[in-house]
A and B are shown apart, each in its own frame.
Chain A
Amino acid sequence: MAAKQQRPPRQEMPTRSAEERRACFDEVALGYALEIAQLEATRCLQCKKATCVDGCPVQVRIPEFILALREGDMWGAVEALKDKNSLPAICGRVCPQETQCEIACVLSRRGEPVAIGRLERYVADWERQQGMRAPEPAAATGKRVCIVGSGPAGLTAAGDLAKRGHHVTMLESLHLPGGVLMYGIPEFRLPKDVVQAEIGYVQDLGVEIQCDAVVGKLYTLRELVEAYDAVFLGTGAGLPMMMRIPGENLNGVYSANELLTRTNLMKGYLFPEWDTPVKVGNKVAVVGAGNVAMDAARCSLRLGAEEVHIVYRRSREEVPARAEEVHHAEEEGIIFDFLTNPIEVLGNGEGWVSGLKCIRMELGEPDDSGRRRPVPIEGSEYTIEMDTVVMALGTRPNPLVFADAPGLERTRWGTVACDETTGRTRMERVWAGGDIVTGAATVISAMGAGRIAATDMDAFLSEPDQPWERAEPADAEA
């Protein structure tokens, strides 16, 4: 019978309506119900050579967890999923699956891939609702490891090393652990109780977390190397870039980091029940078109803005944000001004933003990034009225951590020079991974780097007399 051969279509993710979500910070994607999840799970071909696993930066055992889910063996699914990933509820929500596991899915060649991310989220959420099972403690090796930064890279490295019996201390500069998962990604994409629950799991693995610890100030890298057998640097890329155009310091101009930190970490959207204020006007321009820009634009809308623009100097095709984020933003009514570049922030004479002077752009020859270079069209300047301007132009690693770090080399982009196959930096017994090495990238790529470093750290700790080989000099300056 042909019907037996017929595969159900890829199951849609139920979402809150655009009207509803414009007014609240509740999560947009609602998650599958069990029947839908199991129906979607039947679409998986259970390939012997699972290409999806190769597409995953942390090699989650994808066909195994999907099979267990399909058969109703939920704890089996949890086990298969969490064997390689300690943060599945987070990854299921924020990984760009469409460029990783799902693009590698055999079905994507003939139509729609299995919705791996949505299934991952389903299994992780199921586990959290049951109450997460505390993992078996590993036999202690007696080795002590310090992880600097509690974002995705640090959490992954910490979890992996604790599973192998090393004593792990994780330092966080802010008052809550999670890094960008807490201060950057908004509640409506990644609920903070989900983040804290998964961090709780990492703590259950034996990881100790100390907040309010700014490395470079409270402790220096040199001190940490003396006190620990191995140190992992995963402090991300936290320093915001600005445009350096006139008017950028007017009231009403935010870095995306500030707007997001006030809103997400400090819960400014709940002011005055929570104490930190955040202020957006009626008309908001967000400059840039990455995921952070989408988050800033969608937060602005929820904070009460009537009109929110994404101002981007290239065209729609070059937008770096995930397609899903752009789609959600458009559904919510965010206006995209492509081929537009701000040249000045205008003030109202009393210190506040009143407008944004822009110039139209056209695409010229490809630049270093392979994308066509945007070129200003002479005489095309125009002004748009604005109350708030948010600069979402990308971030660089925060150099604070490099104070008193003898031997640690950096590239000319301010990132840490390291061997990306091991995570080893030029400073002995110091590894690095995530945005501090690559510049701003994704949660999952940081987790992949945390995994790579943890594997090498574990090997090094079992044989600490091995030489600290110098990696190939990769554009190092200092």
Chain B
Amino acid sequence: MHLGRELVYDIVRKRVLGPQTKEYDVLAPEVARKAQAGQFVVLRVSERGERIPLTIADYSREAGTITIVVQEVGKSSMQLGRMAEGDTLASFTGPLGLPTEIERYGTCVVVGGGLGIAPIYPICRSLREAGNEVIGIIGARNVDLLFWEERMRQVTDELIVCTDDGSYGRKALVTVPVEELHTEGRQIDQAWAIGPAIMMKFVALTTKKFGTKTIVSLNSIMVDGTGMCGACRVEVGGETKFACVDGPEFDGHRVDWDLLMSRQRMYTDMEKVAVEAYQAELQASTVKEA
């Protein structure tokens, strides 16, 4: 352990995965030492920045890095998207939340939708290392939002790729192959689904018909990420849970999805204000430079 020093969270590697999707390796050896599949970090881009939670997409204990994947949707993710190798994050806290429960289940179906492809990668790898047969399903609205197909092939026994609009792979929602795998009569012992709430909800509804236990990772709004504020309250099996410390993974068949989606919209109007102010700021600085 190297306690007590000023920590610097350098971006040591950046890859552009799509027009709005960026992958970063952040140097954070202490976090990398403890990180496990299913956990998340909370980071700040700048001194005035929000604390944003991001699920850990990969980690290297040797290199001391944590990999995160970001989609530019709000001000903070847009700012992050503009950062380059050698830039430094204002803060980086983790690993937070409970890790994925990895056991030898048998055959597992692991579904990643959109940005959710990133967090299922280490889960697939860990499941495979534990001796499971892993069937991966990755999907996105279109090809621009799809990434890590090759990486996913390395940690799955079988990989199904689909897009909503058919611009790549199979034209289907991820629920279609999930349903087929079950109706084909294959023994599916457990499923995971990570992605937008609406996708997780429908995967959970699909697997429920077949009684396949399905773990989901809830991306509710958070501030501290350590159980202090309760912004991330979700209801699971009729009980209030804090996604940050009781999760983020829960039994998808017991989650109140409509509540989650409603709570995710709490600041939609203010997020829009922030994006507009940021874009105006960017424009002003471009004009100045020109």
Tally of contacts, chain A with chain B, CB under 8 A = 131
In chain B between 82 and 126, which residues have their CB closer than 8 angstroms to a CB of chain A? 90-96
B267–A277 CB distance below 8 A: yes
Interface size of A by CB at 8 A reads: 48
B1 is an interface residue with CB less than 8 A from chain A: yes
- Quick check: which of A29-37, A126-134, A168-176 contacts chain B, the rest being far away? A168-176
Stretch at the interface among B53-61, B153-161, B230-238: B230-238
| Stretch from A115-123, A258-266, A375-383, A443-451 at the B interface | A258-266
The answer to whether B44 has its CB under 8 Å from any CB of chain A is yes
- A9 contacts across to B, CB distance below 8 A: none
Q: With CB as the reference atom, state the residue of chain A lying closest to B225.
A: A214
On whether the beta carbons of A275 and B93 are closer than 8 Å, the reply is no
Residue of A210, A240, A398 touching B3 (CB-CB under 8 A) = A210
- Output the least CB separation between B202 and chain A (Å): 20
Contact B76 A398 (CB under 8 A): no
Contacting residue for B50 out of A146, A254, A275, A399, CB 8 A: A275
A351 to B258, CA, bound (A): 9
Q: Which of A183, A214, A223 contacts B96 (CB 8 A)?
A: A214
CA distance A227 to B2 in the complex (A): 10
The binding surface of chain A is classed by DSSP as loop
Question: Is A257's beta carbon under 8 Å from chain B?
Answer: yes
Smallest Cβ-Cβ distance to A208: which chain B residue:
B4
Which of B3, B228, B235, B265 makes the CB contact (< 8 A) with A227?
Answer: B3
Complex alpha-carbon distance, A350 and B266, angstroms: 11
Minimum CB–CB distance from B51 to chain A (whole Å) comes to 7
Which chain A residues border B94 with CB–CB below 8 Å?
214, 217-218
A165 to B215, CA, bound (A): 51
A249 with B273: in contact, given A217-B96, A227-B3, A255-B230 (CB under 8 Å)?
no
- Residues 169-187 of A, flagged 1 when their CB comes within 8 A of B and 0 if not, give 1010111000000010000
Number of residues from B at the complex interface, CB < 8 A: 48
Residues in A225-248 with C-beta less than 8 Å from chain B: 227, 238-240, 242, 244, 248
- Known contacts A212-B92, A258-B229, A261-B228; decide if A272 and B277 are in contact (CB<8 Å): yes
Q: How far apart sit A272 and B1, CA to CA, in the bound complex (Å)?
A: 38
Distance of A251 Cα from B259 Cα, bound (Å)? 9
CB atoms of B224 and A174 under 8 A apart: yes
A276 within 8 A of B: yes
Please, which residue of chain A has its CB at the minimum distance from the CB of B28?
A212
Residues of A within 8 A of B231 (CB): 258
B274 and A275 within 8 A (CB): yes
CB distance from A180 to the nearest CB of B (A): 10
Beta-carbon nearest neighbor of B97 in chain A = A217
B95-A257 in contact (CB<8A): no
Contact present for A218 and B227 (CB under 8 Å): no
| A279 at the binding interface (Cβ < 8 Å) | yes
B240 within 8 A of A: yes
> Of residues A146, A208, A217, A275, which shows the largest number of chain B Cβ atoms within 10 Å of its Cβ?
A275
User: Nearest chain B CB to A347's CB is how many angstroms away?
Assistant: 10
User: Smallest CB–CB gap between A449 and chain B, Å?
Assistant: 21
Q: Does B142 contact A (CB under 8 A)?
A: no
Output the residue of B96, B228, B277 with the most chain A CB within 10 A: B228
Q: Which residues of B contact A267 (CB under 8 A)?
A: 48
Q: Does A18 make an interface contact (CB < 8 A)?
A: no
Across the interface, B266 reaches (CB within 8 A) one of A169, A211, A274, A279, namely A279
| Residue in B1, B4, B75, B223 whose CB lies within 8 Å of A261 | B223
* CB of B262, distance to nearest CB on chain A (Å): 4
Partner of B1, one of A219, A244, A266: A219
Please report the C-alpha to C-alpha distance between residue A426 and residue B233 in the assembled complex, in whole angstroms.
Answer: 33
Residues of B within 8 A of A217 (CB): 34, 94-96, 226
Task: Assess whether B245 is interfacial by the CB under 8 Å rule.
Answer: yes
Is there contact, CB below 8 Å, between B267 and A249? no
Contact B95 A249 (CB under 8 A): no
CB pair A277–B271 under 8 Å, yes or no, is yes
Task: Kindly state whether residue A138 has any CB partner on chain B within 8 Å.
Answer: no
| Chain B 207-226 residues near chain A, CB threshold 8 A | 223-224, 226
Q: Shortest distance in angstroms between A119's beta carbon and chain B's nearest beta carbon?
A: 35
Residue contact A266 to B274, C-beta cutoff 8 Å: no
A400 interfacial by beta-carbon distance below 8 Å: yes
Chain A CB within 8 A of B198 CB: no
- A261-B226 in contact (CB<8A): no
Residue B186 lies at the interface, judged by CB distance under 8 Å to chain A: no
B259-A212 in contact (CB<8A): no
A413 CB-CB contact with B under 8 Å: no
Q: Across the two chains, which residue of chain A brings its CB closest to B258?
A: A351
- Given contacts A258-B223, A271-B270, A400-B226, is CB(A210)–CB(B4) below 8 Å? yes
Q: Point out the residues of chain B lying under 8 angstroms from A277, CB to CB.
A: 267, 270-271, 274
Which 3 pairs across A and B sit closest by C-beta, in order of nearness?
A351-B262, A169-B4, A258-B229
Chain A interface residues toward B at CB < 8 A? 146, 169, 171, 173-175, 183, 208-214, 217-219, 223, 227, 238-240, 242, 244, 248-249, 251, 254-255, 257-258, 261-262, 266-267, 271-277, 279, 350-351, 398-400
**12 A-B pairs (CB sep. < 8 Å):** A208-B5, A214-B93, A218-B94, A223-B1, A238-B227, A238-B228, A239-B227, A251-B266, A258-B229, A261-B223, A277-B270, A399-B227
